[in-house]
């Protein structure tokens, strides 16, 4: 009997070496351990033919063999599986330097990106966003903004007229008036939008985007204007950027100023970018002309205001180093794809 067990043991040890894959392991294992047809299973069936006094020893021997065989098969299985996995990985080897399967995302227009950045800054300062209409009438675009009838800005040269009364707004300031008519101070709004002027060259487009800002409250001064603009330029162009005011003229503000910020390329030392001056012109601003407040029914003795207007294309062009404004309106994907923040 021992010989029979030993023979099985031997055949397992020999057969095991030839196994190459999980399927043959399974078949081989089955040929021994299957309770009906397996060779070790058969041994168990032989039990009834064994003399009673030998049965215990026989049973023990067979069980030991079964346990031994189970362990052998488990380790073989483990080895083969590891090998198979290795092969599978090998077979799936790729050239990781091949091109990616790109998941294209688009991006917002640079003007929208710039506009969103500005909105973020001013929203955090408590400004609401008001979007006026592109088509305005003469009163809101000019008269209410203290641009008298004989003012050169009203000339056909500069303004697109749709009828004697209606025109394409030349400035987002037109929206100021609607807001001031509809609300009582305190007012803090920014008004981004398309504006139109009859200009067409490398730096002028007949349509461009402005963002107007307006604050009306008690005791608003020129100091507040500069303080607020300092915060603005620091958030957009970085800590340490400062502004400089210099006198200018807009009909709807008095005093009016041009605002320069210290050059964000050279920090104000003077470079090619700022043409050696250390300053870059960024916007026009001023204290709201009291006639404009009065036109909107706001008590100019009690309230004062500040206003500013930023050209968004100009800001974006400075930021990205674009020298022709037309590029922004041509929708050339080669351009749009580059301009993402």
Partner 1 sequence: MLVPLSWLKDYVDIDITPHELEEKLFSCGFEVEELTEVGKDISNVVVGLVKECESIPDTHLSLCKVDAGEHGEFQVCCGADNVKAGGKYPLALVGASVYATARDHKTVEGVMTIKKGKLRGYESFGMLCSGVELGVTENMYPGAEYNGLLVLPDDAEAGTDVKPILGLDDWIFDIAITANRPDCQSILGIAREVAAVLNKELKMPALDYTMTDVKKDGFKVTVEAKDLCPRYIAHYVHDVKIGESPLWMKRRLALVGMDAISNVVDITNYVLKEIGQPMHAFDCEYLEGNEINVRRADDGEKIVTLDGQEYELNSNNLVICDGVKSVALAGVMGGLNSEIRETTVSVMFESAKFARDNIRKTARALGKRSDASARYEKGVDEYSTVMAMKRALHLIEELGCGKVSATEVEVNTGNSIEPKEMKVSIKKVNGVLGIEVPEDDIKRIMESLEFAPEINGDELTIHVPAYREDMESYPDVAEEVIRMYGYDHVVPTFMPAAKVTMGGLNLKQKKELKLKNALCGVGAYECIHYSFFSPSDLDMLKLPEDAKERHAIRIMNPINEELSLMRTTLAASMIHAMERNMKKGNMEGRLFEVGNIFVAKDLPLTEYPDERETLCVGVFGADEDFFTLKGIAQTVAQTLCLEFEYEPCEKSFLHPYQTAVIKCEGAEIGYLGKVAYDIVSELGVRGSMYVMEIDLKYLSQWYNRKTMYTPLPKYSEEKRDLALVMDKDVTCGQIEDIIKKSCNYVKSITLFDIYEGEQIPADKKSMAFTIEFCPKEEAFEAESVDRFVNKILKNLKRQMDVDLRS
Q: Could you tell me the smallest distance in angstroms from the CB atom of residue 131 to partner 1?
A: 7
Exposed e or buried b for every residue in 139-177, given b needs 16+ CB within 10 A?
Answer: ebbbbbbbbeeeeebbeeeebbeeeeeebbbbbbbbbbb
249 binds partner 1 (CB under 8 A): yes
Distance CA 293, CA 301 (A): 10
Q: Which is nearer to partner 1, 66 or 154 (CB)?
A: 154
Q: Could you tell me the smallest distance in angstroms from the CB atom of residue 277 to partner 1?
A: 10
Q: Which is nearer to partner 1, 65 or 110 (CB)?
A: 110
Q: Is 97 helix (H, G, I), strand (E, B) or coil?
A: coil
Distance CA 340, CA 336 (A): 8
276 binds partner 1 (CB under 8 A): no
Site for partner 1 in 163-202 (CB under 8 A): 163, 165-166, 168, 186-188, 194, 196, 198, 200
Q: Which residues contact 338 (CB under 8 A, 6 or more apart)?
A: none
Spatial CA neighbour of 176 closest among 305, 55, 56: 305
275 binds partner 1 (CB under 8 A): no
134 binds partner 1 (CB under 8 A): yes
Q: Could you tell me the smallest distance in angstroms from the CB atom of residue 250 to partner 1?
A: 9
Q: Which is nearer to partner 1, 73 or 127 (CB)?
A: 127
Out of 176, 210, 289, 295, the only residue in the binding site for partner 1 (CB under 8 A) is: 289
Q: Could you tell me the smallest distance in angstroms from the CB atom of residue 144 to partner 1?
A: 15
Out of 256, 262, 295, 315, the only residue in the binding site for partner 1 (CB under 8 A) is: 256
Out of 32, 58, 73, 122, the only residue in the binding site for partner 1 (CB under 8 A) is: 122
Instruction: Classify residue 18 as left (phi > 0), alpha (psi -120 to 50) or beta.
Output: alpha
Do the Cβ atoms of 307 and 300 come closer than 8 Å? no
Q: Is 20 helix (H, G, I), strand (E, B) or coil?
A: coil
Strands (E), 181-335: 187-196, 207-218, 243-250, 253-262, 279-288, 303-311
Which of the stretches 30-38, 67-75, 76-84, 324-332 binds partner 1 when contact is defined by CB under 8 A?
324-332
99 binds partner 1 (CB under 8 A): no
Q: Which is nearer to partner 1, 32 or 303 (CB)?
A: 303
Place of tokens 């040929």: 31
203 binds partner 1 (CB under 8 A): no
Q: Could you tell me the smallest distance in angstroms from the CB atom of residue 189 to partner 1?
A: 9
Q: Which is nearer to partner 1, 43 or 316 (CB)?
A: 316
């Amino acid at each position: 009997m021992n010989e029979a067990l030993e023979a099985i043991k031997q055949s397992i040890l020999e057969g095991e070496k030839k196994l190459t894959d999980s399927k043959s392991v399974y078949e081989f294992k089955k040929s021994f351990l299957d309770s009906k047809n397996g060779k070790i299973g058969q041994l168990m069936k032989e039990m009834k033919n064994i003399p009673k006094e030998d049965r215990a020893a026989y049973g023990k021997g067979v069980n030991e063999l079964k346990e031994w065989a189970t362990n052998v098969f488990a380790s073989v299985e483990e080895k083969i599986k590891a090998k198979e996995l290795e092969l599978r990985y090998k077979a799936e080897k790729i050239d990781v330097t091949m091109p990616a399967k790109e998941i294209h995302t688009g991006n917002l227009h640079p003007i929208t990106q710039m506009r969103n950045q500005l909105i973020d800054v001013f929203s955090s300062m408590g400004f609401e966003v008001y979007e006026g209409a592109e088509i305005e009438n003469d009163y809101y675009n000019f008269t209410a903004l203290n641009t008298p009838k004989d003012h050169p800005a009203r000339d056909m040269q500069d303004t697109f007229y749709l009828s004697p009364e209606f025109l394409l707004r030349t400035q987002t300031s037109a929206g100021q008036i609607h807001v001031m008519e509809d609300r009582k101070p305190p007012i803090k709004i920014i008004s981004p939008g398309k504006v139109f002027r009859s200009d067409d060259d490398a730096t002028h487009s007949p349509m461009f985007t402005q963002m107007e800002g307006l604050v009306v409250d008690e005791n608003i001064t020129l100091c507040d204007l500069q303080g607020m603009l300092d915060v603005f330029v620091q958030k957009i162009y970085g800590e340490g950027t400062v502004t400089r005011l210099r006198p200018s003229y807009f009909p709807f503000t008095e005093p009016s100023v041009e605002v320069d910020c210290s050059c964000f390329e050279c920090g104000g030392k003077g470079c090619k970018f700022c043409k050696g001056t250390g300053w870059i012109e960024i916007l026009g601003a001023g204290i709201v002309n009291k006639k404009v407040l009065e036109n909107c029914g706001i008590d100019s003795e009690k309230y004062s205001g500040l206003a500013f207007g930023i050209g968004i294309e100009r800001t974006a062009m400075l930021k990205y180093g674009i020298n022709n404004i037309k590029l922004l309106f041509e929708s050339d994907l080669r351009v749009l794809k580059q301009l993402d923040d």
